[in-house]
Amino acid sequence: MGQSGDLQMKLENGNAGFVLEDVPHLTDYIPDLPTYPNPLQFNPAYSVVKQYFVNVDDTVSQQIVVHKDSPRGRHFRRAGPRQKVYFESEEVHACIVTCGGLCPGLNTVIREIVCGLYHMYGVTKVLGIDGGYRGFYSKNTIDLNPKVVNDIHKRGGTILGTSRGGHDKSKIVDSIQDRGINQVYIIGGDGTQKGAAVIYEEIRHRGLKVAVAGIPKTIDNDIPVIDKSFGFDTAVEEAQRAINAAHVEAESIENGIGVVKLMGRHSGFIAMYATLASRDVDCCLIPESPFYLEGEGGLYQFIEKRLKENGHMVIVIAEGAGQDFLSKSLQSMNQQDASGNKLLQDVGLWISQKIKDHFARLHKIAINLKYIDPTYMIRAIPSNASDNVYCTLLAQSAVHGAMAGYSGFTVGPVNSRHAYIPFYRITEKQNKVVITDRMWARLLSSTNQPSFISPKQVTEFKKVKQPPAQLLDGENCEEDKSKSEDVTTKT
């Protein structure tokens, strides 16, 4: 696996503390590249548009809540079509690859890159790389055109296939060079974007006119800087079905308990949003909020109380929650997947068994517990309508960026405006639920579950750090310690 080097940040300072954190451009290392008029202005579909192109000086602010004396702060380059492009349509030979875990919307992004290239820029050579990064050097490619991808957005998964591991910088760039590819679209999560940064650096090192564009994918919504990742809404919506089922089961029987395990290795966003959306959940457990089982304020006590009050309850648990307990009780082996991500133990099964054992020992309440594990069901589905629209914008932003000669960037909405973001900004940290933020308080007040934080800890926390009035960038992020490390947030 390649290592990301130390490429210089492209920072530009302006008035009143304005900083543009720019993305690389092909002309940074290949001067005097010829430019061409953007073919979009001759496109009949766009003839009604008042302004075909975004202003070259348009930037998107990372901070939107500011005070009158605040500096203007960090900005990113606004995404969108440019007046000049650095590729002629006939010259472009693009490829698309999907890597890492599945996520609703992958096929929509593929479709819209292909259609964007064909319909907006008249590009007709687009290759699909089969099976993730290793597909560059060990698998066949697939010719893509609007006909082939016409209805793929209605299917879950990725028509290109995906994989973990297999990132070999030299072999990948050799393959790009040998095939004459000059635009590379890379769809994937934090690992994939790190891999994309390595590919970009090697391409730059070899001085190739090849644009590398990343499209961030993470069902866990744990990529920083961008507002939200595609597929997340769809996953939260699908999770409602599992929660409903758990609720129906629990409600229908005396002292029924429904336990639902949802995805979220290091970030509990799916569990938190699914809980907030559902209103049927009594307790939501996430990796960022350590919990305990026994004693005053513990989970067992809360379950007993809820069963007495309501006769049933639903618990949602993110897969990364409580891993501390599991590693202690199960002598965890430090197993990893092919990409180096730590393999987690099944916390849903574990907690279900612990609850059953506890109440069996207690002889007070006979509980009926049903465990539902919809993990892969929430990601192996097609994206919903809003994710489909979102995927379209991501794909088109990537295509406009590559055609305009930008390279080594990823795309995504920042405060609702699509922007070009340097790779390092989305791979250096991981987005997490901040349990001292108002959103987690909303969740606690909707479930009325214990916070599992002792009054002493709260006082300690307040002494250390006053919670900000509004979260500024990075405050809901943690350094990326995801590889083979336990990253349960300390409070």
Ligand X SMILES: Nc1ncnc2c1ncn2[C@@H]1O[C@H](COP(=O)(O)OP(=O)(O)O)[C@@H](O)[C@H]1O
Ligand Y SMILES: O=P(O)(O)OC[C@H]1O[C@](O)(COP(=O)(O)O)[C@@H](O)[C@@H]1O
Distances in whole angstroms, Cα of residue 229 to Cα of each of 196, 330, 367, 412: 18, 34, 38, 8
CA distance readout (Å), 363 to 156, 366, 367, 403: 46, 7, 10, 69
**Tokens matching residue 160:** 């290109």
Cβ at position 323, least distance to ligand X in Å: 18
DSSP three-state, residue 256:
strand
Footprint on residues 345-364 left by ligand Y (CB under 6 A)? none
If the CB atoms of residues 332 and 368 are measured against ligand Y, the closer one turns out to be 332
**DSSP collapsed to 3 states, 164-186:** CCCCCHHHHHHHHHHHCCCEEEE
User: Least distance in Å: CB of 218 to ligand Y?
Assistant: 3
The 3-state DSSP class for residue 123 equals coil
Rule CB under 6 A: say whether 190 interacts with ligand X: yes
Write out the residues near Mg ion by the rule CB under 5 A: 189-191
DSSP line for 18-77: EEEEEPPBGGGTSTT---EE-GGGG-GGGTT-S-SS--TT-EEES-----TTS--EEEEE
- Candidate residues 220, 238, 249, 280; the one interacting with ligand Y per rule CB under 6 A: 220
Alpha carbon separation from 44 to 47, 49, 65, 174, 420 (Å, rounded): 5, 10, 39, 39, 27
**At its nearest, how many Å lie between Mg ion and the CB of residue 370?**
30
What gap in Å lies between CA 219 and CA 217, rounded to an integer? 7
Catalytic-labelled residue, pool 22, 130, 220, 222: 220
Based on the shown chain and the rule CB under 6 A, indicate whether residue 429 belongs to the binding site for ligand X.
no
Binding of ligand Y by 219 (CB under 6 A): yes
Asked if residue 100 binds ligand Y (CB under 6 A), the reply is: yes
Beta 211-216 vs 409-414: how paired, if at all?
A: parallel
Contact flag: residue 268 with ligand X (CB under 6 A) = no
Q: Which of residues 222-251 bind ligand Y (CB under 6 A)?
A: 222
Q: Which is nearer to ligand X, 205 or 465 (CB)?
A: 205
Q: Which of 85, 95, 103, 307 binds ligand Y (CB under 6 A)?
A: 103
Residue 188 is a binding residue for ligand X (CB under 6 A): yes
Q: Which does 290 bind (CB under 5 to 8 A by kind): Mg ion, ligand Y, ligand X, none?
A: none
Q: Which of 24, 81, 101, 268 binds ligand X (CB under 6 A)?
A: 101
**Is 360 strand, coil or helix?**
helix
Q: Tokens at residue 207, please?
A: 């001085």
Between 170 and 209, how does the x/- string for binding to ligand Y read (CB under 6 A)?
-------------------x--------------------
Which residues, 131 to 170, sit near ligand X by CB under 6 A? 132-133, 164-167
Site for ligand Y in 427-486 (CB under 6 A): none
* Residues belonging to the active site: 220
- By CB under 6 A, name the binding residues for ligand Y: 100-101, 103, 189, 218-220, 222, 263-265, 319, 337
